Amino acid sequence: MDHPGKLRETVLGLVAICSALVALVVWIPADIDTGIVDVWRRTIRIGDAMLPSFAAAGMLLAGLVMLVRAIVLVPNGLHRVISPVFLVTSCLVMALGLTLMQASGPFIVWLWFSGEISYRQLLDTAPWKYIGFVIGGSFMIFCFTALTSHRFSWRFVFLALVSTVLIALIYDLPFDNLLLPPNGDI
């Protein structure tokens, strides 16, 4: 593998082939009841497995051609560069942000009322219903702003907080029935 594009094309072809095979051999037979054709009340119908089987077969074919091509030919490698550090950091930011969004509301309510009232009862009551969204949301905005500009600034914190509160108000004030994240899941 002397060419970075070549490695990536090979991996891509292998991933396509493997996922198509898994779909064809394991997933579709195990998770669809009616087969490619289906006999129902003595008439033959197209079964639920027809479309996914065709799709997976197409993926398999495309993957095979791509793999062979990647091995035989030199790819015209105009690939973007993927940075593993960036990937790991952004996954962490998203995971932390979503966890904060879901956990901070119930946690703060539990602290405040020492367990007497549950968050479930307050999820339509201000200011409790905003807690999770504002903490989690501004965390995400701040982290990505700081990450992409490579510096910390209190101005970023302020901007993240203000824009999150604005977003919360845009959705919450005009619409009675909309629930901000994570209030629909509590």
Partner 1 sequence: MGGLEYILAGVMEALFGNPAIVLGPIVLSWPILLVALGFFIGVLIGATPGLSGPFAMALALPILISIFGFTPDALLPVFGFLVGVMKGATVGGAVPAILFNTPGTPDAFMTTLDGYPMAKNGQGGKALRVAHFASVSGDTFSDIVLFVCAPFLAISIEAFLGLPEKSALMILSLSFVAVVVGNDTFKGILAACFGLLVASIATGTDSYPRLSMGSDVLASGLPTIAVVIGVLVVGEIFVSFEDMWRSAREKQKAPPKIAPGDTSLSMGERRKLLPFIGVSMSIGTVIGALPGIGTTLAAALGYTAGRKMHKGEVDFGKGAPEGIAATEAANSAVSGANLIPALSLGIPGNVAAVFIILAADTIGGFNPGPSVFRFSADEVNPELVVAFALFTLMVAANLLNWTTGAWFMRLLGGLIHVPKQILLPIVLLLTLTSVYVQGSNMSDVYVLLFFGALGYLMRSTDIPILPFVIAYILAGPLETTIRSAFEATGSDPWFLFRSPISVIFLILATAIICGAGWLRGGPRLK
Partner 2 sequence: MKTLLSAAAAAILSVSAAYADWAPSGPIKLQIGFKAGGGADTMARLIAEDIQAEYGWTLLPENVTGAGGGVMARSVKDSAADGLTIGVGITDTFAYGVLAARDPGYATSDFEYLSTLAGTQMGIVAKSDRGWKNMSDVIAAAKAGEEISFGAMTPRLADGSYYIGKVNGVEFNIVSSYKGGKAVLNAVNASDVDIGWVAGPQKSGVSAGDLLNLANGEDKPLRVSPDAQTLAEIGVDFFFGATFVAIAPAGLPDDARLALSDAISTVVQKDGTKSNAFISKALTIKVMTGDEARSYVEGELADAEALLNATVE
Nearer to partner 2, 39 or 61 (CB): 39
Q: Is 185 helix (H, G, I), strand (E, B) or coil?
A: coil
Applying the rule CB under 8 A, the residues between 25 and 54 that interact with partner 2 are: 33, 40-43, 45-46
3 state DSSP class of 42: coil
Q: Look up residue 67 and give its two tokens.
A: 């793999």
- Is residue 124 close enough to count as binding partner 2 by CB under 8 A? yes
Using rule CB under 8 A, residue 96 touches partner 1: no
Interacting partner of 71 out of partner 1, partner 2, none (Cβ under 5 to 8 A depending on kind)? none
Residue 137 DSSP SS3 = helix
Among 37, 79, 87, 121, interactor with partner 2 by CB under 8 A: 121
Distance CA 62, CA 146 (A): 40
What type of residue sits at position 16? A
Measured CA distances, 156 to 8, 135, 163 (Å): 37, 14, 10
The site string for partner 2 over 91-120 (x = CB under 8 A, - otherwise) reads ---------------------xx---xx-x
**113 versus 144: smaller Cβ distance to partner 2:** 113
Q: Pick from partner 1, partner 2, none: which does 145 bind, CB < 5 to 8 A by kind?
A: partner 1
Nearest distance from C-beta of residue 162 to partner 2, angstroms: 22
- Asked whether 164 and 137 are in contact (CB, 8 A), the reply is yes
